[in-house]
Chains A and B, each alone.
Chain A
Amino acid sequence: MKRAARLIIFYAALLGLWTLLAELKIWPPYLFPTPWGVGEALYAGFQDHSYWIAIAVSMRRVLIGYAISVVLGMILGLGVGSSKFLEETMGGLLVSLQSLPSICWWPLALLWFGLSQNAILFVVIMGSLLSVTLAMEDGRKQMPKIFGMAGRNLGASGFQLFWQVLLPASLPFIVSGLKQGWAFAWRSLITAEMLYLSLGLGQVLMMGRDLNDMGAVIAVMILIIAIGYVIDGLVFKSMERHLQHKWGLTSST
């Protein structure tokens, strides 16, 4: 309860400061909107369904892109994690590639896939694939060797060994990487959508800019933050908690 009270006080103060600055009229309202201006924009956006459509389109893209990069990342990560040669060669390349913002792939994506959905997906995949790969590789290495041996000992081999033993055994070690991959996928998507105008939250945000409607821009920003936060909290936090409980890493009931 104390924590909730602190949070309420903090956000109330933040809103108060915002209102105060807006009311002082240092900047014109279209540059610095009031909180209720943003609220109105949010309401209007949901009212005419444009936000719902944008959310649906963006979610669909990010889910497809993320799913592909998880599958690819698992295969790549396991390969790199289990072969000394691949680790020495590919491992270094992957780490260095991670410093490249995924939007740098945009020009190439445009050339290869044209101005299409696939170009966006490509950028999303390049954004999250590396995190997932590195997380898998790391998980494979951190996972206690005993599980693999016990699995083989009990007759598991090949795909069964991977699916029933190695993957679940390394899950606690890769879940943070999966989470990071999700965050990268989401950011890459919004960036790509801002450059390529075809529905989606990124486009709605840019539309606000074109209309000089900062209320709408901030409203979409809030939406982007909220969705990212909710997925993180709902999916990944509960996954982590579930794993920790199962493995007995916490005393939670």
Chain B
Amino acid sequence: MSTNAHNFPAQLPIPVEPRTPSFVGGVRKKSGLGLPPPRIAHEVSKVGLSDICLSYRTQSGERLLALDHINLQVKAGEFLCIVGPSGCGKSTLLHLIAGLHQQTSGKVLIDGKRVQGPGTDRILIFQELGLFPWLTVGQNVEFGMKMKGIGKAEREEKTSYYLRLVHLSQFKDSYTHQLSGGMRQRVALARALATEPDVLLMDEPFAALDAQTRDLLHDELERIWFETGRTIIFVTHNVREAIRLGDRVALLTFRPGRVKREFPIDLPRPRILEDTHVALAAREILDELREEINRSLEVEYNVGVKPRVEPGVEQQ
């Protein structure tokens, strides 16, 4: 709880000027650090990954290096997107930050303190969501607060607040299987937000959705990010999605996963997925990504010939 952005719900909702989210939640101050994007300033990173390595033994017994000296700093209130070909270990990286797995070496730091295990200051939204089918939507959202020992009245108040935030108020008593994919996605978001984590970790959350629903959820996620001032680390294989949402995009290499390059995204918000600036920025990242995708395909199909990837075509 390092910022007043988490005091509930005193300054919520905050009126938002779409192009200048810098004042939101008191987290992002105007900065002179010259770091992209310049509106974020914090001496101690919210999330710090230093020399993270992860290796494991495959079934055939050989040792596989999945992550190789990952170094990343994420500032409070920043929206960082991580892209990379499938199998580069980007989901694994989120699991490490969430404390659900243990890295082989290196450190995960939150506010400079070492992560020892799972904690409600970091909530991961799984790719498969992991909503509890035996609970109603409301009970799902309430779950994290219940674990934290928050009283019933406050739980109820916050549950309805966060359900309103994701526009699911009428579905409080539904079971998750009764909802559409996009709605379930929003339940997962509300459940994660309701525990009021400083850091939100999202693992390809919109990959399985149709384009319209995804566009809508991009808008909503951006709005919620403005309103709550959370730090978000968002993993995706979709470069344009990363540019649509991120303050910064980090590109991981294929096996072992290394940070190949970081791209600051200085485009004004809200960005539109079809915008030319987005497409141009995507082109630059895709050029770098293409090499990694080719390598991953080579391994996957086990062929010597590099499959041709059409320029500008995104790997889905």
Question: Measuring CB to CB, which residues of chain A are less than 8 angstroms from any residue of chain B?
Answer: 144, 146-147, 149-150, 152-157, 160, 164-165, 168-169, 171, 243, 246-248
Q: Is the CB of B130 within 8 A of A150?
A: yes
Question: Which of chain A's residues have a CB closer than 8 A to the CB of B123?
Answer: 153-154
25 contacting pairs across A/B (C-beta < 8 A): A146-B128, A146-B130, A149-B100, A149-B130, A150-B126, A150-B130, A150-B132, A152-B100, A152-B118, A153-B98, A153-B118, A153-B124, A153-B126, A154-B143, A154-B144, A154-B147, A155-B118, A155-B147, A155-B195, A164-B143, A171-B134, A246-B133, A247-B134, A247-B177, A248-B177
Inter-chain pairs besides A150-B132, A155-B148, 9 sampled, C-beta below 8 Å:
A146-B128, A152-B118, A154-B143, A154-B195, A155-B147, A155-B195, A243-B134, A247-B133, A248-B178
Chain B stretch 127-161: residues in CB contact (< 8 A) with chain A: 128-134, 143-144, 146-148
Q: For the complex, what is the distance from the CA of A150 to the CA of B144, rounded to whole Å? A: 10
Q: For the complex, what is the distance from the CA of A153 to the CA of B120, rounded to whole Å? A: 7
In the complex, how many angstroms separate the beta carbon of A146 from the nearest chain B beta carbon? 4
Chain B stretch 94-110: residues in CB contact (< 8 A) with chain A: 98, 100
Q: Does B23 contact A (CB under 8 A)?
A: no
Q: For the complex, what is the distance from the CA of A220 to the CA of B98, rounded to whole Å? A: 60
Question: Which of chain B's residues have a CB closer than 8 A to the CB of A150?
Answer: 126, 130-132
Question: Which of chain A's residues have a CB closer than 8 A to the CB of B133?
Answer: 246-248
Given A146-B130, A247-B134, check contact A153 B100 (CB 8 Å): yes
Q: Is the CB of A248 within 8 A of B175?
A: yes
Q: Is the CB of B178 within 8 A of A147?
A: no
Q: For the complex, what is the distance from the CA of A150 to the CA of B128, rounded to whole Å? A: 10
Q: For the complex, what is the distance from the CA of A147 to the CA of B134, rounded to whole Å? A: 11
Q: Is the CB of B126 within 8 A of A149?
A: yes
Given A160-B147, A169-B134, check contact A154 B191 (CB 8 Å): yes
Mostly, the A contact residues are: helix
Given A149-B126, A150-B126, A247-B177, check contact A155 B120 (CB 8 Å): yes
Question: Which of chain A's residues have a CB closer than 8 A to the CB of B177?
Answer: 247-248
Question: Which of chain A's residues have a CB closer than 8 A to the CB of B120?
Answer: 154-155
- Cβ contact of A246, chosen from B118, B131, B134, cutoff 8 A: B134
Q: For the complex, what is the distance from the CA of A108 to the CA of B195, rounded to whole Å? A: 54
In the complex, how many angstroms separate the beta carbon of B257 from the nearest chain A beta carbon? 20
Question: Which of chain B's residues have a CB closer than 8 A to the CB of A155?
Answer: 118-120, 144, 147-148, 195
Q: For the complex, what is the distance from the CA of A156 to the CA of B142, rounded to whole Å? A: 13
Question: Which of chain B's residues have a CB closer than 8 A to the CB of A156?
Answer: 143, 147
Chain B stretch 201-235: residues in CB contact (< 8 A) with chain A: none
Q: For the complex, what is the distance from the CA of A155 to the CA of B195, rounded to whole Å? A: 9
Question: Which of chain B's residues have a CB closer than 8 A to the CB of A247?
Answer: 133-134, 175, 177
Q: For the complex, what is the distance from the CA of A160 to the CA of B176, rounded to whole Å? A: 22
Q: Is the CB of A147 within 8 A of B119?
A: no
Question: Which of chain B's residues have a CB closer than 8 A to the CB of A165?
Answer: 132
Which single residue of chain B is at the shortest CB-CB distance from A145?
B130
Question: Which of chain B's residues have a CB closer than 8 A to the CB of A157?
Answer: 118
Q: For the complex, what is the distance from the CA of A246 to the CA of B133, rounded to whole Å? A: 7
Question: Which of chain B's residues have a CB closer than 8 A to the CB of A171?
Answer: 134
**What 1/0 mask marks residues of chain B from 59 to 86 whose CB sits below 8 Å from any chain A CB?**
0000000000000000000000000000
Q: For the complex, what is the distance from the CA of A248 to the CA of B123, rounded to whole Å? A: 26
In the complex, how many angstroms separate the beta carbon of B68 from the nearest chain A beta carbon? 24
In the complex, how many angstroms separate the beta carbon of A131 from the nearest chain B beta carbon? 23
In the complex, how many angstroms separate the beta carbon of A169 from the nearest chain B beta carbon? 7
Q: For the complex, what is the distance from the CA of A154 to the CA of B135, rounded to whole Å? A: 14
Question: Which of chain A's residues have a CB closer than 8 A to the CB of B148?
Answer: 155
Q: For the complex, what is the distance from the CA of A152 to the CA of B123, rounded to whole Å? A: 10
| Residue among A146, A150, A169 with max Cβ neighbours from chain B (10 Å) | A150
Q: For the complex, what is the distance from the CA of A247 to the CA of B143, rounded to whole Å? A: 17
Q: For the complex, what is the distance from the CA of A152 to the CA of B132, rounded to whole Å? A: 13
Question: Which of chain A's residues have a CB closer than 8 A to the CB of B191?
Answer: 154
Q: For the complex, what is the distance from the CA of A160 to the CA of B148, rounded to whole Å? A: 11
Q: For the complex, what is the distance from the CA of A186 to the CA of B114, rounded to whole Å? A: 55
